[in-house]
Amino acid sequence: MRTPLTLRQSHPLRVPAPLLGACLALASWTCTPSARYADEFRTVHVRASDSVATQLATHACAGLYNRRLGGSVFVQSDADVPQAAIDGAIAQDELWLDALGLESARDQEVPEFLAECVADFGCVRYSYEAQQEILPSIMTVAAVRGAPMLSDEAPIRCEDPLVDATLEFAGKDTQLLATQHVYENYLEQTTGLAMLNPGYNRSPADLANPEISENMSIALVDYVFERRLFVAFLVNGCTAGHPERELLSRVVNESGWETPLPVYGYNDSWLVQGYLHEAQTRCLESANMGAIPTRTSNLSFFGSRRAPIEREDELPHNDPQAVSYDPTKVYVAFVVGDGDNVRYIMSTRRDWMEQRLAQCRDASPACPPLTWTISPHLPELAPDVLEWYYAAAESTGSDYFALPPSGHLYSYPGSMPPEEQARFVSNTERVARILGTHSVVHWEWFSTWRGSVQEFLPRYAHEGGQIQGIFPVNVPYLIDMFSAWPAEQEYQLVPGADGSNAVIFRSHSWRGVNGSDAYHPSAQEMSDRLAALPAGTVTWVYMTSDGGLTLENSYTALTDILPSNVVLVSADAAAQLALAAGGI
């Protein structure tokens, strides 16, 4: 059962009529993102009978309509749609309409919607069967031209194309050749970069040469069309000396896009005990990229239906937890991880928050504190969703937020050049102020931690600095980057140039509860571990669900059996306690 929450009413600014008329008189791509907001919206229903090519066109059209009029089209994929099952969170999007109190003015089926869309925007012709591998490039051209791509294999054909991709991409049937063509002819008309897998096998025998084995996902397609993103998926784009890497470097560094560059979508190539290039930063020699994991749908709707959140006072905040350091106690902050992944925010983390609301409603004593990582891009991508989370936290009175790895972008900031690091810190501090947090979960590639601690992290330690607590995660997670610390040491101060301090903690991960190793303790084993810590300890635990952990089988179960000397605190409170106790 979903818990109704009271959300603040937003009052978006509207474009004056003369300016609006001038905008609409221009080509559609010059008017993005939309500065107008729909008074009502329609829902388009995708059915199991709709082919993948038809679904791709439907989401492209939704993005175009939301580009023209913000928040005007929402796409609902029914639960029995196979592609929705592949994309996980997509079939759950409609739950947000209920949670946010949104009701569509009318419903439409796909054939009627696509016919209307083609009449309004025109179309781009292509062949899904013959050109699936280069669909990212075809999608970029279609987004720039402001028209959906229609497949020759779909029921609705493109009879009078603005672009015939079967001709334009003739002889350009590889990722390298197709991306090169788009780079040479369309780069200046795009606004950013997205990586969307056209359907490559994610666990191939030859990582450098995967075969097409799946359908292309429909996730993020609507947002690509709303924002005119440059879409690529160069499997060897991060391989030193490979022509694909040279091309990707030119795309990134000749585009004029602001850096460190946010990369939308997800790079799920090169699976080596985790996707090797998912964070993007170490992909290019310029080391000026980071990811925004956004493998989800309807972001063009949620992000365009109102103005973004730009100030801290636009969100309700719980008062900081007031805790005085007692050297006889053990203080622990539990942090719900993976909040950088917008797909998780739109699905499982919402489910966890609703469990938390049910548990904490009328609880006596009040629920102990819990900190959630939350995407720093929700103020723009889905401000209403962000408000829902903050209203939920305000309802419990015990929930707080922290920035996910590694602040502004899912990235390895310590690997970035100094000028990129300076911009990264500025962006992280800005969004931390909006979210009202002083904590950031931070990760680095295992070989760069020492340099990051010495050179990058001190950038956060300055007078008036927003970030005070740095909570690291090891990459790969099995490697302890703080093994040189004494066993009892849980944190140390990070001094800044002006004598100010931040604090960095030892890394602790809780990934499952089957008791198989140190990362998968049962709730009782975690309780025993915390009880054995020396008095005066201040520490934290990062919780992720990739090993079977849920909120109920971990944190909720733990809170009923904790010994009395263990005090649960928020991440911000843990940082303050560590600073008060002094560094080791």
Task: Please write the tens of the pLDDT for every residue from 416-449.
Answer: 999 999 999 999 999 999 999 999 999 999 899 9
Nearest Cα neighbor of 144 from 50, 226, 62, 38 is 226
Token representation of residue 429: 């501090």
The percent of residues above 70 in pLDDT, for the chain, comes to 92
Token representation of residue 544: 């992720």
Domain boundaries, the chain: 22-304, 329-581
Task: Please report the pLDDT score of residue 87 as a whole number.
Answer: 56
Q: Looking at residues 476-491, what average pLDDT do you find?
A: 88
Task: Write out pLDDT tens, residues 221-246.
Answer: 999 999 999 999 999 999 999 999 99
Task: Please report the pLDDT score of residue 30 as a whole number.
Answer: 38
Cβ(335)–Cβ(543) under 8 Å? yes
CA distances from 7 to 10, 102, 372, 377, 384 (A): 9, 12, 19, 19, 8
Q: How far apart are CA 86 and CA 250, in angstroms?
A: 33
Task: Please report the pLDDT score of residue 1 as a whole number.
Answer: 41
7: confidence class by pLDDT, cuts 50, 70, 90 = low
476: confidence class by pLDDT, cuts 50, 70, 90 = confident
Q: How far apart are CA 152 and CA 148, in angstroms?
A: 13
Task: Please report the pLDDT score of residue 9 as a whole number.
Answer: 45
Token representation of residue 310: 């730009």
Task: Please report the pLDDT score of residue 90 as a whole number.
Answer: 53
Specify whether domain 329-581 bears CATH 3.30.390.10: no
Task: Write out pLDDT tens, residues 58-105.
Answer: 999 999 999 999 999 999 988 777 655 445 445 477 899 999 999 999
Task: Write out pLDDT tens, residues 348-361.
Answer: 999 999 999 999 99
- Nearest 10 degrees: Cα torsion 86, 87, 89, 92: -70
The percent of residues above 90 in pLDDT, for the chain, comes to 86
Rg (CA), the chain: 24
What's the gap between Cα 494 and its chain centre? 28
Cis peptide before 49 (omega within 30 of 0): no
Element (H, E) at 45: strand 42-46
Q: How far apart are CA 319 and CA 491, in angstroms?
A: 25
- Between 14-23, 154-163, 346-355, 523-532, the lowest mean confidence (pLDDT) is in 14-23
Q: How far apart are CA 87 and CA 71, in angstroms?
A: 22
Task: Write out pLDDT tens, residues 180-226.
Answer: 999 999 999 999 999 999 999 999 999 999 999 999 999 999 999 99
Measured between its terminal Cα atoms, the distance across the chain in Å is 47
Nearest Cα neighbor of 540 from 581, 576, 506, 565 is 506
pLDDT above 70: residue 305: yes
Cβ(385)–Cβ(345) under 8 Å? yes
Q: Looking at residues 358-368, what average pLDDT do you find?
A: 94
Task: Please report the pLDDT score of residue 379 as a whole number.
Answer: 98
Locate all alpha helices (DSSP H) within 16-173, ordered by sequence.
17-25, 52-68, 82-87, 93-99, 110-121, 128-131, 135-145, 165-168
CA distances from 441 to 60, 410, 444 (A): 34, 10, 11
Task: Please report the pLDDT score of residue 523 as a whole number.
Answer: 98
Task: Identify the sign of the CA torsion 149, 217, 87, 349.
Answer: negative
Q: Looking at residues 275-303, what average pLDDT do you find?
A: 97
Q: How far apart are CA 216 and CA 192, in angstroms?
A: 20
